Chain A
């Protein structure tokens, strides 16, 4: 009985702490909107989030009571900015506060549209994604547009150039094209943290549909429609130039890509936004590495120091967060480095399919302070970067080999010169 009584109390205590390193899925989302009608016009997306256990808090973007943190603790795990036209956030929130929120390891979804304000563009460009600077420009595609009765300007695009990554978009292939209407952005190719998830077709360009066309700044498949950024602290961001991508209308719409014989009853939007929001809020692709151990072959305890040319065994456990529990991560490309300024040993670890990765190798014939290093960066997964320091000593003076057969002639030579010296002394002294 007492247990039953305590349970809700315990839950209340645990709930604010439910997001942690051991439970990395976001729980509390703050959703900023321009007006509260978005709550109903995008309700399918929000419902899918709620059904996956997120608690959503809707606020007008200029609500003066908005604050992301209180007493130094963040009140939310994720931020969804569905307010493209806001000039200034209310309360204590501003561009720097949003970036601090991400720097603290929290996640962000940012959706703009053709009315995107400088504030929204600023957040995007600080994240490594640049929206087309022309405020009038939208993405236009006269070849792979979605056929519709109302759109004669071909700004409603049926995009199907997805990134090839099961971990970002889910294992199930997205068959139907995704409907997109909004502004395009570009990602600097040298930026390794930002990825184009959905690119425009080669025939697309970004320009104002009403003005006379003169060399558009963004063309072809360099236009990114949806991008994700995974920061070095594993915070994830989704940035797109189309707020309509998430609307019920697009999620429920049928899609017929121009020139294609396939007419889909339902666009790919619902699957796309669901799967990518799973990735952004760490339901997928979040790795953790634990129990990095090493020991002599045939032993169990971890020594404080190795000697050169010792044989050792190394193991590490890697798990992937499935949204509810940690599952063994299976891959054949995890490598360990035995590192001192540069890797002296680089070995691919073999896995037992239960999350345990192990290998054995010989310590190189070099002494110094080494590190066991695992640097694992794969598309869509959080990056693993672990190291453990271990000194390697040379042989002690009594550990060297003695009486080597190959050296017998040298021993013989030394002793014979000694004997020669003795005989020489006698002969020299007594020859008179």
Chain B
């Protein structure tokens, strides 16, 4: 039983990797960017757990910059994905411009809240 479930898991991961290999490169870049943002957010949460929540505004802005970045990147990914029929009328250039504008606003807010 245990042997069969571990082989199942291996098969599952293999099939996931082979399926993911078919993803276009630009979406893979976005995925990497999201992973980076989430990892930074996790590091900050762990650090806050150790040091304490004293400059709480700094913590919030640090965390929210990562979370906001990840959310915006996911939004971009939804909009530029060719297989997503919902946004087939939206040009990828327009989606990217929206992404850049939102990021600028986000980082402006973060800078004001950081210190």
Contact = CB atoms under 8 A, between A and B. Distances in A.
A21 interface: no
Chain A contact surface mostly: helix
A432 B47 CA distance: 38
- From B47, B62, B66, residue with most partner A Cβ within 10 Å: B62
A4 interface: no
A397 to B, nearest CB: 11
B58 A410 contact: yes
Contacts, number: 74
Nearest to B76: A428
A406 B56 CA distance: 11
A406 B50 CA distance: 11
A431 B96 CA distance: 14
A424 interface: yes
Contact of A431 (B29, B54, B103): B29
B44 A424 contact: no
Contact of A413 (B30, B40, B51, B55): B40
Contacts of A404: 54-55, 58
Nearest to B113: A414
B13 interface: no
Given A407-B55, A418-B107, A413 B66 contact: yes
Contact of A411 (B36, B40, B41, B114): B114
Interface of B: 25-26, 29-30, 33, 36-37, 40-41, 43-44, 47, 51-52, 54-55, 58-59, 61-63, 65-66, 69, 73, 96, 100, 103, 107, 110-111, 114-115
Given A410-B44, A417-B69, A428-B26, 19 more contacts: A404-B55, A407-B58, A410-B55, A410-B114, A411-B58, A411-B62, A413-B41, A414-B62, A414-B107, A414-B114, A417-B37, A417-B40, A417-B66, A420-B69, A424-B29, A424-B30, A424-B33, A428-B96, A431-B25
